[in-house]
Chain A
Amino acid sequence: MRSPVFFVVALVVGAVVFAASRYVENEYFFFAGYVVLQFIVLATAWNILGGYCGYVNFGSAAFFALGAYATVTIHKLYPMPIPVLMLVGGVVSGIVGFATGYLTLRLRGAFFAIATLALAVVLQTLIINWDFVGGARGAYVIRPNSFPLLGSYIQYLFGMMLLLTVISVAGARAIERSRLGYGFATIRDDELAAEASGVPTLRLKLIATTISGALMGMAGAPFPYYIGYVEPGTAFGLAYAVNSIAMPMIGGTTSWIGPVIGAILLGTVQQVATVTISSAVNLLIVGILLVDFVIIAPNGIVGLVRDRRIGSTTVEPTVFVLLYVLNLLPTIFLAKQGQAAQSIGLVFWAILFFVTYARGRMIGRVWLMVFPWIGAGLSLVPVTSETPVVSTVVLWSQGVAWLAIDPPTAVLIVSLVIQVIGMIYGAALERRTPAMTTP
């Protein structure tokens, strides 16, 4: 599909989503939806530099916060409409992106990543000491209650963020398929060869940091109106830096759709986790998922679908067992958070099924899949996890030491033990007989 056509299609999809959202009664939907959209923009922006060019930016929060603080500054001086604020935030962050790029892009790999991290710290320190925008105290930005024609103001913010999402996703897709996108990809693959082919690498990297920074700033600009109170700790929060890396990584960094998938998936899980458990669990979930994807699917979901190939590190039995245990922990933790949290638990159970299935196929022992099924059965199905008979049997089998534990926990522990033993047994079997090499 040609880029202008895609832009129109994306715009129509955005309009349909917005029209459909008018029928949503619950205001909270817009608050949650806004955050997911904001992360799509951030992930897409990160991916233009990180995915297309291969330069990992740890300072996403700084660009986001700059956009937000540009809005705070303007709000104090002379309040302006959101679209204008977005443009100003974009320009400010774009300029800082360009300057950062100019100062740091001669650095490669880890050095560039550290430099961007340092930028975030420097900017946060500046903001903390800038009294006009509230300094460390933070600043209140009173959101109008309503917006003409739309009704509530949050719906307006949601709509604006939706528009920005459409623009950035369509923009990222257009870049990917253009001469510029090819140039970015050569930088990611091999900078020396790129230069030898006539690609002006430094200039292209500056273009990438500028676009990437500008989009992050635009995503941050409406933030003060959304949150109502901005302080450096939230605006420069770890969540922005981590999420804008994790989302493209999980979705897949080489194409525009990767960050979109990653942001929708991870953003939604986080919103559900915030409501059902607590907002602090978010980062734990992101962390575990990130470890999973780096091991199972280094090229993200997009890569998994495209190559139909699983990361080679799962071949190592110890890595596989550790991966399995790592994903078991949240299922146990989440099971104790009540029924609502179980929906997030399903994500991890799904990963366990997938990992064991892939592993089983790789080594010719598909029956490995039985273990997560047993585990999920025992801990998810109310009949087994709550029936006194089952629990009692389990308790007996566990001996008196665990008598003090409530039945659901005991069931969980048994499920854990069964699964771990199963996995270790599987690994041990493989050690003895040479594994089949074909997946």
Chain B
Amino acid sequence: MTSPLLDVEDLSKRFGGFVAVDGVSLSVKPGERLGLIGPNGSGKSTLVNCICGTLHHESGSVRFEGRALDGLPAHQRTRLGIARSFQLPRPFTSMSVMENVRIPLLYTVNARPGPKQSARAIEERCAELIQLVGLAGKARKWPRDLTQVEMRKLELARAMAAEPKLLIADEAMAGLSHSEIDDILALLMRLNERGITIILIEHIMRAVMSFSQRVVVLVSAKKIADAPPERIIQDPEVVRAYLGQ
């Protein structure tokens, strides 16, 4: 058995008296596609924030490639290879689409040990990424001129620009149409084929079930199930807590 890429052990996070994540353990193998589902307020985003370093958890630990991440600031985790997209798109509003994508190349890819990419190589890589997510015609546009779908694509392009080993897509498809969801799923699938491990957080069951190899269910800050999708939909506890009865 291969050692896990990401290993979350007994992680807890509280906001004052409110326990947002309660002793969650989770491990992800390299190259895996993991779905993370749960009702609103079940702690999915908080868990992601703790993994990425946006929030600091009180107890438990997060290990990435065997290395403990506890206490590391978010940017260093990005440099180690954990990239994320935000639930609500957070573009850099004073920069063009192209420049948005350039930031992780400048600050993550070029900050890693090894040879630095030249300005021209970065430029080409930006264009390539923008092409990949389907924003080719919008490279010089400002985020305020983008639609919601395009904004989410930009969010993904920026996460991909960091050349991550693990990509966490936090509700990248909320509010999108059927065909747009298929677009993004196909994109994530292609990334996965290139060897990038993906954690997909989503409400849209159709997307999660078709994409994930394994699904983790959070309810009220606790993990209640961790199984392949076909078993998840039969799990009586999941059905009761999440799908409703």
Q: Which residues of A contact B (CB under 8 A)?
A: 179, 182-183, 185-186, 188-190, 192-202, 254
Q: Restricting to B72-123, which residues have a CB under 8 Å from any CB of A?
A: 73-76, 78-79, 83-84, 86, 90-95, 99, 102-104, 106-108, 111
Q: Does B129 reach chain A (CB closer than 8 Å)?
A: no
Identify B75's interface contact among A182, A185, A201, CB under 8 A: A201
Identify A197's interface contact among B53, B78, B93, CB under 8 A: B78
Identify B104's interface contact among A198, A201, A202, CB under 8 A: A198
When distances are taken between beta carbons in the complex, the residues of chain B under 8 Å from A183 are 103, 106-107
A193-B91, A195-B73, A200-B76 known; 20 new pairs, CB 8 Å cut-off, are A186-B103, A189-B93, A190-B92, A192-B74, A193-B90, A195-B54, A196-B52, A196-B74, A196-B159, A197-B75, A197-B158, A197-B161, A197-B162, A198-B104, A198-B111, A198-B162, A199-B103, A200-B75, A201-B75, A254-B94
Given contacts A182-B106, A196-B54, A198-B75, contact A189 B94 (CB under 8 A): yes
B94 touching A192, Cβ below 8 Å: no
Given contacts A196-B52, A196-B54, A201-B75, contact A189 B92 (CB under 8 A): yes
A192 touching B108, Cβ below 8 Å: no
A197 touching B107, Cβ below 8 Å: yes
Bound complex: CA A198 to CA B158 (Å): 11
Q: Which residues of B contact A (CB under 8 A)?
A: 52-54, 73-76, 78-79, 83-84, 86, 90-95, 99, 102-104, 106-108, 111, 158-159, 161-162
When distances are taken between beta carbons in the complex, the residues of chain B under 8 Å from A190 are 90-93
Identify B78's interface contact among A179, A196, A202, CB under 8 A: A196
B90 touching A192, Cβ below 8 Å: yes
Bound complex: CA A183 to CA B103 (Å): 7
When distances are taken between beta carbons in the complex, the residues of chain A under 8 Å from B108 are 197-198
Bound complex: CA A186 to CA B84 (Å): 16
**Chain B residue nearest in CB terms to A187:** B92
Bound complex: CA A76 to CA B73 (Å): 46
**Chain B residue nearest in CB terms to A195:** B74
Bound complex: CA A182 to CA B104 (Å): 11
When distances are taken between beta carbons in the complex, the residues of chain A under 8 Å from B76 are 200
Given contacts A185-B94, A197-B78, A200-B73, contact A192 B103 (CB under 8 A): no
When distances are taken between beta carbons in the complex, the residues of chain A under 8 Å from B111 are 198
A185 touching B92, Cβ below 8 Å: yes
**Chain B residue nearest in CB terms to A185:** B94
When distances are taken between beta carbons in the complex, the residues of chain A under 8 Å from B159 are 196
When distances are taken between beta carbons in the complex, the residues of chain A under 8 Å from B91 are 189-190, 193
Report the minimum CB–CB distance from B69 to chain A (whole Å). 14
B86 touching A195, Cβ below 8 Å: no
19 examples of A-B residue contacts, CB within 8 angstroms = A182-B106, A186-B92, A190-B91, A190-B93, A192-B86, A194-B75, A195-B53, A195-B73, A195-B75, A196-B83, A197-B78, A197-B107, A197-B161, A198-B79, A198-B103, A198-B108, A200-B73, A200-B107, A201-B75
When distances are taken between beta carbons in the complex, the residues of chain A under 8 Å from B92 are 185-186, 189-190, 193-194
Report the minimum CB–CB distance from A338 to chain B (whole Å). 45
Bound complex: CA A193 to CA B88 (Å): 11
